[in-house]
């Protein structure tokens, strides 16, 4: 999305999500005052809320777009109660810049710090610590919304709870999130102790996840481009905050300094043939060998562990103009290993190769959540180049996921159908009822909601 600097601006731009598929040409309205946003809402028949466009598919596409990027003020940092109140267009990076030097961190962060607080709530994002800390909304105490009627409304677990629970993970369909209050957690330093566990099969990998219960963060990389005796190799990375005694004297000098890493830009879309799976296969083998030879454990700054891809801005252009899709599913614990094996085998046998696969563990989820993605079990994200045959493969994968009681993540989706949505999200009807109450004419919608047809 082109940047819009002026207050109260409407631009027409070609817009995409992070996957660069699909694209749409939309008017984008942005303002730094909720008063002007309200005026605009009242003049429009349909709108789509948009944060920083880091969801992969079409959830923040539509026409016109109501951007929250102009609402970028941090209103209060209450150290006594360990809460932040900010406007919805504030990026996680902006929060961390303020809180880390003061000794606080966000309880949940996704794989990039360049998302807005609005997007974090609307997709109810999860991190590498879901099994311990839940998803973002678990730490939200209160929100202010701008509704389709132009009214502003406060909601929390006790005030308008139906609106609160439908908004957490509600993909912007209940109204426009304007302000959010959420908890932060204390930290002693910016350093994490990380450790790698090398696994020669999925069963070793799942076993390692279960065995390592004391780690605060767990994430695994799977090499699904090479298979030996039906087995895929993987590396489980565990992390926990460093204790001060573990840190070198040099690190102790800057315990709470946010290190700004040098960033690189991919200047243009690479031709789609560039990212050949055979090239990635070789890269994977090298990665395995290099990591195997490296030290078993290390102390690294949080950004290297949580946001490794943020140093290469626009890395999505590596996939070429046709874009790419991330297929992220979750399976309940009981079927997670069996289902992951079935899915990786299906992908391995197809011509559509998965270039990056990541496995994470989910813990208990709040039973009040209506459309949040996590459920207790394991989640796998698979990155694919967009090809003419990919959607047929993903339809097959949907069947496996749904048969085993899982679901697909809307924040990554660009092709799911209504059946998959209805089966995967059993509280969909309750969600639809809340949408009918607060957004009765479907003024707040999105290209994704229209395509799937999941709000009535």
Task: List residues near ligand FAD by CB under 6 A.
Answer: 18, 48-55, 59-60, 68, 88, 110-112, 115-116, 118-120, 122-123, 125-127, 171-172, 176-177, 309, 411, 446
**CB of 167: closest distance to ligand FAD in angstroms?**
8
Residue 114 makes CB contacts below 8 A (sequence gap 6+) with 52, 54, 91, 92, 93, 310
**CB of 247: closest distance to ligand FAD in angstroms?**
27
**CB of 127: closest distance to ligand FAD in angstroms?**
6
* Residue 239 near residue 193 (C-beta atoms within 8 A): yes
Q: In what order do the strands lie in the sheet with 152-156?
A: 74-78, 83-87, 176-183, 140-146, 152-156
**CB of 155: closest distance to ligand FAD in angstroms?**
13
Q: Which is nearer to ligand FAD, 134 or 234 (CB)?
A: 134
Q: Which is nearer to ligand FAD, 126 or 407 (CB)?
A: 126
- Identify the sign of the CA torsion 300, 305, 310, 312: positive
Q: Which is nearer to ligand FAD, 255 or 442 (CB)?
A: 442
Q: Which is nearer to ligand FAD, 172 or 406 (CB)?
A: 172
**CB of 245: closest distance to ligand FAD in angstroms?**
31
Name the residue among 328, 269, 308, 277 with its Cα closest to residue 130: 328
Angle, helix 390-403 to helix 333-349, in steps of 10 degrees: 160
**CB of 314: closest distance to ligand FAD in angstroms?**
11
Q: Which is nearer to ligand FAD, 19 or 241 (CB)?
A: 19
Q: Which is nearer to ligand FAD, 103 or 176 (CB)?
A: 176
Q: In what order do the strands lie in the sheet with 356-362?
A: 297-301, 191-199, 231-241, 217-228, 356-362, 377-385, 324-332, 407-408
**CB of 80: closest distance to ligand FAD in angstroms?**
27
Q: Which is nearer to ligand FAD, 198 or 315 (CB)?
A: 315
End-to-end CA distance of the chain: 29
Name the residue among 454, 450, 455 with its Cα closest to residue 58: 450
Residue ranges of alpha helices (H) inside 245-332 are: 249-253, 277-293, 302-306
């Amino acid at each position: 999305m082109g940047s819009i600097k002026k207050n109260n601006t409407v631009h027409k731009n070609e817009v995409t999500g992070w996957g660069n598929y699909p694209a749409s040409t939309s008017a984008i309205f942005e303002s730094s005052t909720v008063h002007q946003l309200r005026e605009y809402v009242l003049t429009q028949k349909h709108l789509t809320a948009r944060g920083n466009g880091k969801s992969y598919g079409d959830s923040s596409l539509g026409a016109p777009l109501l951007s929250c990027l102009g609402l970028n003020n941090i209103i209060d940092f209450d150290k006594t109660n360990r809460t932040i109140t900010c406007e919805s267009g504030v990026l996680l990076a902006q929060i961390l810049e303020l809180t880390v030097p003061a000794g606080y961190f966000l309880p949940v962060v996704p794989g990039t710090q360049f998302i807005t607080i609005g997007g974090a709530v609307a997709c109810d994002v999860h991190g590498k610590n879901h099994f311990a800390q839940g998803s973002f909304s678990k730490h939200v105490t209160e929100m202010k919304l701008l509704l389709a009627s132009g009214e502003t409304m406060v909601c929390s677990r006790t005030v308008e709870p139906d609106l609160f629970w439908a908004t957490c993970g509600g993909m912007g369909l209940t109204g426009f999130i304007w302000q959010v209050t959420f908890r932060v957690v204390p930290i002693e330093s910016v350093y994490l102790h990380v450790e790698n566990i090398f696994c020669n099969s999925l069963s070793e990998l799942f076993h390692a996840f279960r065995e390592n219960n004391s780690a605060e963060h767990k994430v695994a990389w799977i090499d699904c481009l090479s298979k030996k005796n039906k087995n895929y190799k993987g590396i489980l990375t565990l992390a926990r905050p460093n204790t001060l005694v573990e840190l070198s004297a040099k690190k102790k000098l800057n315990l709470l300094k946010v290190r700004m890493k040098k960033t690189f830009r991919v200047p243009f879309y690479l031709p789609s043939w560039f990212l050949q799976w055979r090239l990635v296969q070789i890269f994977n083998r090298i990665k395995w060998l290099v990591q195997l030879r490296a030290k078993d454990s290390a102390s690294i700054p949080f950004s290297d562990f949580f946001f490794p891809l943020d140093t290469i801005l626009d890395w999505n252009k590596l996939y070429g103009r046709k874009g790419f899709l991330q297929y992220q599913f979750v399976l309940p614990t009981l079927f997670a290993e069996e289902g992951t094996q079935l899915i990786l085998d299906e992908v391995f046998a197809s011509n559509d190769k998965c270039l990056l696969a990541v496995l994470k563990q989910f813990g208990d989820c709040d039973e009040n959540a209506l459309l949040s993605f996590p459920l207790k079990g394991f989640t796998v994200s698979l990155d694919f180049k967009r090809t003419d045959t990919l959607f047929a493969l993903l339809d097959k994968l949907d069947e496996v996921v749904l048969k085993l009681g899982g679901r697909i993540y809307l924040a990554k989706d660009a092709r799911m159908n209504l059946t998959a949505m209805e089966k995967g999200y059993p509280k969909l009807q309750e969600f639809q009822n809340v949408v009918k109450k607060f957004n009765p004419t479907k003024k707040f919608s999105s290209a994704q909601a229209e395509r799937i047809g999941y709000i009535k």
